[in-house]
Structure 1
């Protein structure tokens, strides 16, 4: 088998993988649809599905997950994030990213957390246990606040929500620092009840399971994920959640909800002992963490802290909060190759100040790195070109006798010291780089709305005029013309001729940045191939 056949095989494998992903999204197991809505009175009652744990708990450990928003919400914002907090329970029910517009050059910001009549995605937290206000049979606590809007003053903004009952005062404090997507949350518990109090913190993310997901060409993930001391990063899909509840105990860890480019995650303190759990209720999936029980002596004050990240998948920001949170930038099984490529792309962009130019420079670096192998590949293919007259003579001699033809060709290769597989290795090495860079360009939020030049104003979406895919197909066709072939089977020849057309249609929906990489890679390969062929021709002439 020669390099052309390997090329066909790799192309067909790529198409097969993408088709399988699309089949899974269309015909695979689907999330359950929301159940018929119940009456408001029923929703206000404790429900076994609302328990923030996979194991059964006492009735006092049941927070009530309310489905109705309060009439008025509390707003707090810094320079990059605007939050809306429901006084009932103190849940974060809206989070807008002020630096990330929905549409390029638009004014409306992306809203990660939000709640309406059709879709719910919120961050909840509270105190359960014997004396926890969120375990009260009367429902979750109604917090009071001195103001309804908190704006940043200096380098931070602080919102204090207060609840008093049975001699206990709970201050639920939210802190936002300048240029930060991390919401520090503190429960300050003042026990004036005259006896010891027992509480247990929980934090969870709740999202409607039914909704949009990735496609064949954009196989992005939407759903839960978590990290423990034993598992650095693991997805727990809505299907997994429906089949079996998560129940893992760990030191530290985190729980999150992922989507394309953005993530929300609860991060408890690294030294705390936590139980990670999942649940589902009325069509919504829940992933959360329940902390240790805390005893507050009479007359004492205790503070329980955690962090909520709501923002872009910025690896530097994520790693600063938790060592494994950056893994939510999911590069798949080639993460070990994609992460250095992302680092190299970022470093180069810092110099050229253009992501399109950075992709071109990265392509040159990759092709330079692979040049020794490329040279061997095309030298082998050049020797194959020299053997073409002898190969044709063998074809005429043996005609339809394929077995004798193959034996004669192998003897010819052995005599001339030509390896027919010599051109395969660089192609096989390039495919993992291509796939890794595909995930880098697909997952890196830095490339969202990043322009290049002329009509390419966003490298993270497809070329609107299909110029780059057409250039890619044309360059691939030219590469085939420059490459010698001994394929005699008419069917294989037709497949070879059809591959550039197939790949062109396949690349039409790919991000423009990825197609730009492939076009530049092909052009460099053509230049290298021409240079090597001319050197071989001079050598043969001499």
Structure 2
């Protein structure tokens, strides 16, 4: 049940008037009747202000703190996600500390706004904490202006949802029309996250979507060089870090302005401003928005707003990665183990590619059979490249052999490998997902390097089994070193990806033995002479 407490409280040690701390508010955008109003720069430092009073809200998935000064979300823990593997401590998305600022701010600006250069409002609140895992929680904050207008800022939390509804209820008790604009923005310390490594690159920065661009990354260096300033009837603004995202989702279908700036080179701000809202005397109006604070769960994000799920960035192979992820997700729902789902996905992929695999090894076997004739042609034509080339093409045609037949199937499999690489790297579902024994996190490297070594051994066995299509000693030497080179690279790859490659190799070995047995029955010798 939601906790209840009678009465209304004012923040401790804070009056109900607006704060005059300019340093705190130098990042608040200016209001204007024109939606394209510029966001002012400030020479004053933007410092992290400790909340004098916070309202604590806990659902089944979120643990949130709301600062009563300004009504900003200053802390968010994601209860379904551990900070590190096996840790009791929950992952913290938003926080407001001296060395790391990452908060979701919102307010009302403009001629009759209560957030601006003169300060942020200090809201009255009904209770200090709320908790429910099964019921909707509403957190009302109230501010009464000197002119008698009443501003209620209400946060709504829904069980199982990472989306928080934020609405302003403005009651105009004055004799004049009130004009105000809603803004929602994310503020983050530029150097508070990591962008991964060369082997496992992960994006840390901002992103946005609007009418003309479904999804655009907007890193902090670009934000320094050029401000975002576009108007759009659709879209959102967000901050990304590997598996997690925060995003302001404005009301769609109106002329919102997306903006950004960097304060003193240390804090990046990206936000959205609504068109001007007029509230007639004696009437009231409600202004609504949403903020998403959670994991990059594609299904959950797709329900919030269009294209927010694109924050799970599969790169240029997204069209291939998305169905692979859907297949993985379906198989995992059956076997309840992401490692087994990867194995089953590998089996399905290899079964679908079997005709290509067969064509590859048949071509390689035939090429090996042609090696004596190729050697004779080299001795016959010597350095005459033109005649040699023509004779080789004639030989290929007579023997019905495609010289690219051994390479093309392998190249066609490469996009699948790359797409799966991005799926395993970007999908939050695999974060801290155990397989068996020592593999307790498929999204990170094998801690004992057992899978990469087994993968290298399987590559070596494949090499010993497959026909050698070339007699060039240099190329043969290169092929011999391939298992070692791949093993070294795979030492740092996600263990889920190495598992895929290992299982793929083992299936390929089984397929090779079947294919070779069929070729030998036809009188084609495919065994290498050692």
TM-score (structure 2 length as normaliser): 0.89
Match of 2:439 in 1: 456
SS in 1 for 2:115: helix
Distance 1:333 1:452 in 2: 29
Selected match of 1:157 from 137, 161, 173: 137
Selected match of 1:206 from 183, 187, 192: 187
Distance 1:341 1:48 in 2: 42
**Deviation, structure 1 residue 169:** 1.0
Change in Cα spacing, 1:45 to 1:515, as seen in structure 2 (3 Å) is: closer
SS in 2 for 1:233: strand
**Deviation, structure 1 residue 483:** 2.7
Distance 1:107 1:98 in 2: 10
SS in 2 for 1:504: helix
2:162 maps to 1:181: yes
Match of 2:450 in 1: 467
Selected match of 2:231 from 243, 246, 249: 249
Match runs of 1:142-541 below 5 Å: 142-152=122-132, 154-165=134-145, 166-211=147-192, 212-282=194-264, 283-394=266-377, 406-540=389-523
**Deviation, structure 1 residue 397:** 5.7
CA deviation string 1:458-494 (max 9, x = no partner): 1111111111111111222222223333434433333
Distance 1:231 1:479 in 2: 46
Farther off after superposition, 407-416 or 204-213: 407-416
Change in Cα spacing, 1:140 to 1:82, as seen in structure 2 (3 Å) is: same
Change in Cα spacing, 1:162 to 1:370, as seen in structure 2 (3 Å) is: same
SS in 2 for 1:385: helix
Distance 2:21 2:289 in 1: 31
Distance 1:153 1:171 in 2: 25
Contact preservation (8 Å) 1:52, 1:289? no
Selected match of 2:119 from 136, 139, 142: 139
Change in Cα spacing, 1:160 to 1:273, as seen in structure 2 (3 Å) is: same
Distance 2:510 2:384 in 1: 38
Farther off after superposition, 516-525 or 206-215: 206-215
Match of 1:44 in 2: 23
Match of 1:121 in 2: 102
Change in Cα spacing, 1:80 to 1:111, as seen in structure 2 (3 Å) is: same
Distance 1:117 1:82 in 2: 21
SS in 1 for 2:394: helix
Contact preservation (8 Å) 1:77, 1:157? no
Contact preservation (8 Å) 1:472, 1:504? yes
Distance 1:444 1:251 in 2: 29
Distance 1:396 1:52 in 2: 84
Distance 1:52 1:279 in 2: 16
Distance 2:21 2:129 in 1: 32
Contact preservation (8 Å) 1:98, 1:109? yes
Distance 1:450 1:428 in 2: 30
Runs of at least 5 residues in structure 2 that lack an aligned partner in the other structure: 1-18, 526-530
Farther off after superposition, 513-522 or 43-52: 43-52
RMSD across aligned positions (CA) = 2.5
Change in Cα spacing, 1:45 to 1:160, as seen in structure 2 (3 Å) is: closer
Farther off after superposition, 200-209 or 49-58: 49-58
Contact preservation (8 Å) 2:452, 2:487? yes
SS in 1 for 2:496: helix
Match of 1:93 in 2: 74
Which structure features the higher share of helix residues? 1
SS in 2 for 1:242: helix
TM-score (structure 1 length as normaliser): 0.87
Match of 1:77 in 2: 58
Contact preservation (8 Å) 1:349, 1:358? yes
Distance 1:87 1:116 in 2: 17
Change in Cα spacing, 1:52 to 1:295, as seen in structure 2 (3 Å) is: closer
Distance 2:277 2:417 in 1: 51
Q: How many residues align?
A: 500
SS in 1 for 2:191: coil
Farther off after superposition, 234-243 or 486-495: 486-495
CA deviation string 1:61-119 (max 9, x = no partner): xxx97631222321111111011111111111111001101122221000000121111
Contact preservation (8 Å) 1:44, 1:139? no
Distance 1:262 1:161 in 2: 28
Distance 2:62 2:394 in 1: 70
